[in-house]
A and B are shown apart, each in its own frame.
Chain A
Amino acid sequence: NAGVTQTPKFQVLKTGQSMTLQCAQDMNHNSMYWYRQDPGMGLRLIYYSASEGTTDKGEVPNGYNVSRLNKREFSLRLESAAPSQTSVYFCASAEGGVNEKLFFGSGTQLSVL
């Protein structure tokens, strides 16, 4: 019962480096999400994918790109990392529908120096 799996768990980057955060779910969910969590600011939506083949911007999309590779996988890419992107990143998935509840992964702690 893996649920939502995120890799890596920890990452340190230098300013300007690029990296991709991976997320996979095994619950056959339609919707997938990327959030970032910063102290005192709660969870903020970066991008989401309502279904395979579609992606939409959330509240804080600047500096990020996403790919919905297939129904299971949703990746988040930082093309040129900045210190402001130091955060904890969470991937989540949901069955779909108006009142869906989210299932979260365990997070990736990213530091950009």
Chain B
Amino acid sequence: EDQVTQSPEALRLQEGESSSLNCSYTVSGLRGLFWYRQDPGKGPEFLFTLYSAGEEKEKERLKATLTKKESFLHITAPKPEDSATYLCAVRGAAGNKLTFGGGTRVLVKP
């Protein structure tokens, strides 16, 4: 059974204070690791897909990296508008579905 664990559960940052979110996973035959952003009262919004260890992707102040056991979402010099819950999910070889972690709630204070 695929499993995803995200840490920390919550993160409070000052504007400009860089930090990283962790996503640890176990999966049989990784077909993709996905990061989503979710704002309060809305559905998750796709950010990145990573497919193999060593891969990195960037979008504005966000950078996602992947190893064989975990992924990191680095937030560089965050702004208040980066406040959201960030979700990690994996797709394994066995199934036609994503398995999600519990998410990390990020609050960036001005």
| Other-chain residue from A42, A56, A106 in contact with B42 (beta carbon distance below 8 A) | A106
Residue of A nearest to B97 (CB): A45
Fill in one digit per residue for B32-58: 1 if any A CB lies within 8 Å of its CB, else 0: 101000000111111001010000000
Fill in one digit per residue for A32-50: 1 if any B CB lies within 8 Å of its CB, else 0: 0101000011111100101
Given contacts A58-B97, A106-B41, contact A42 B103 (CB under 8 A): yes
CA gap between A56 and B97 in the complex, in Å? 11
Q: Provide the residues of chain A in CB contact with B101, threshold 8 Å.
A: 42
CA gap between A92 and B45 in the complex, in Å? 11
Residues A107 and B51 in contact, CB atoms below 8 Å apart: no
CA gap between A90 and B45 in the complex, in Å? 12
A40 to chain B, nearest CB (A): 6
Residues B41 and A41 in contact, CB atoms below 8 Å apart: no
User: Contact residue range for chain B?
Assistant: 20 to 34
CA gap between A98 and B103 in the complex, in Å? 23
Given contacts A42-B103, A43-B44, contact A102 B98 (CB under 8 A): yes
CA gap between A43 and B41 in the complex, in Å? 14
A45, A102, A106, most chain B CB atoms within 10 A: A102
Q: Provide the residues of chain B in CB contact with A56, threshold 8 Å.
A: 96
Q: Provide the residues of chain A in CB contact with B51, threshold 8 Å.
A: 99
CA gap between A4 and B43 in the complex, in Å? 10
Residues A48 and B96 in contact, CB atoms below 8 Å apart: yes
Residues A99 and B43 in contact, CB atoms below 8 Å apart: no
Q: Provide the residues of chain B in CB contact with A58, threshold 8 Å.
A: 97
Q: Provide the residues of chain B in CB contact with A4, threshold 8 Å.
A: 43
B73 at the interface (CB under 8 A from A): no
A26 to chain B, nearest CB (A): 15
Q: Provide the residues of chain A in CB contact with B34, threshold 8 Å.
A: 101-102
Interface residues of A in 33-78 (CB under 8 A from B): 33, 35, 40-45, 48, 50, 56, 58
- Which residues of A are at the interface with B, using a C-beta cutoff of 8 A? 4, 31, 33, 35, 40-45, 48, 50, 56, 58, 90, 92, 98-99, 101-107
